[in-house]
């Protein structure tokens, strides 16, 4: 149980276009979802935290107008990179928490999305 | 605020040898501690976690870790590694009673050689 999927797994887009990445919890309801960014050979940096039905909370230094997050249901969160530029190329990973006491503080990670902006 | 230091960026070992991956943390409040493994181009998989209770935690794939509060450490160990253990390992913390946000260390690349 506790499977998180991401789509697409890999995307290439042209500079100036927007791309949407989906994160789904397949077999549980995710009260909270997190979006991370990982540069090559580096750690995960938290970009934002999203709760279903409310606005996402962005970490310091993350442009909320550039990285739009929508958590429309308890099983789906989307990250839209608007007007993408080559420096936005990265590995984006989402995670979700179940919210029940038994799994408190355990995040389940998606497989990641490799974004390349040309 | 919390921070995590993984002292070794790369650890090469031979197959069937023991391994220890070191993790130290800094926090002004009590924390929960985690170890995750990441295989190339994949997301993270939880190896083990310390929430409370026994300070020796056993996880999947034969890994274990010991929480040492006085030394603020949570080192990961395995008595005998396999080629398939080659991966990136991340230590992470979150604050007890706070949000569920995780703070990650920079990772340790474990390479198991035949």
The minimum CA-CA distance between A41 and chain B, rounded to whole Å, is 8
Interval A22-52: pLDDT, tens: 999 998 888 889 999 998 878 889 999 998 8
Chain A interface includes B35 (CB < 8 A): no
Among A32, A43, A106, beta carbon nearest to B104: A43
Interval A63-101: pLDDT, tens: 999 999 998 888 999 999 999 999 999 999 999 987 654
Q: Which two tokens stand for residue A30?
A: 């995710």
Pairing status of strand A76-81 against strand B31-38: unpaired
Contact A107 B99 (CB under 8 A): no
Interval A2-25: pLDDT, tens: 889 999 999 999 999 999 999 999
Q: What is the rounded CA–CA span in Å between residue A43 and residue A46?
A: 10
Q: What is the pLDDT of residue A104?
A: 55
State the average pLDDT over residues B93-112.
87
Which of A31-40, B35-44, B62-71 has maximum average pLDDT?
B62-71
State the average pLDDT over residues B88-106.
86
DSSP label at residue B78: E
pLDDT of residue A116 exceeding 50, the answer is yes
Q: What is the pLDDT of residue A102?
A: 45
Q: Which two tokens stand for residue A93?
A: 């990973």
The minimum CA-CA distance between B100 and chain A, rounded to whole Å, is 5
The minimum CA-CA distance between B75 and chain A, rounded to whole Å, is 18
Q: Which residue on chain B is closest to A58 by alpha carbon?
A: B101
Is residue A44 a contact partner of residue A36, using CB atoms and an 8 Å limit? Answer: yes
Q: What is the pLDDT of residue A105?
A: 63
Q: What is the rounded CA–CA span in Å between residue B42 and residue B36?
A: 12
Q: Which residue on chain A is closest to B37 by alpha carbon?
A: A109
Beta strands, E only, chain A: 4-7, 10-13, 19-25, 32-38, 44-51, 57-58, 67-73, 76-81, 90-97, 107-109, 113-117
């Amino acid at each position: 149980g506790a499977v998180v999927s991401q789509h697409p797994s890999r995307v290439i887009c042209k500079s100036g276009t927007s791309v949407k990445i989906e994160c789904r919890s397949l077999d549980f309801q995710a009260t909270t979802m997190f979006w991370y960014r990982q540069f090559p050979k580096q750690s995960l940096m938290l970009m934002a935290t999203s709760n279903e039905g409310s606005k996402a909370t962005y970490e310091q230094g993350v442009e909320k107008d550039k990285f739009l997050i929508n958590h429309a249901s308890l099983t789906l969160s989307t990250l839209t990179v608007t007007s993408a530029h080559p420096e936005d190329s990265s590995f984006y990973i989402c995670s979700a928490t179940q919210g029940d006491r038994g799994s408190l503080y355990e995040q389940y990670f998606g497989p990641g999305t490799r974004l390349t902006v040309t | 605020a919390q921070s995590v230091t993984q002292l070794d960026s790369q650890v090469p070992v031979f197959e069937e040898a023991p391994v220890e991956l070191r993790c130290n943390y800094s926090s002004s409040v009590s924390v929960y501690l985690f170890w995750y493994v990441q295989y190339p181009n994949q997301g993270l998989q939880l190896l083990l976690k310390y929430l409370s209770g026994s300070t020796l935690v056993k996880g999947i794939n034969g890994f274990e870790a010991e929480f040492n509060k006085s030394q603020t450490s949570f080192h990961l160990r395995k008595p005998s590694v396999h080629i398939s253990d080659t991966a990136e390992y991340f230590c992470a913390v979150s604050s007890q009673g706070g949000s569920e946000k995780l703070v990650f260390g920079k990772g340790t690349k474990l390479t198991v050689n035949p």
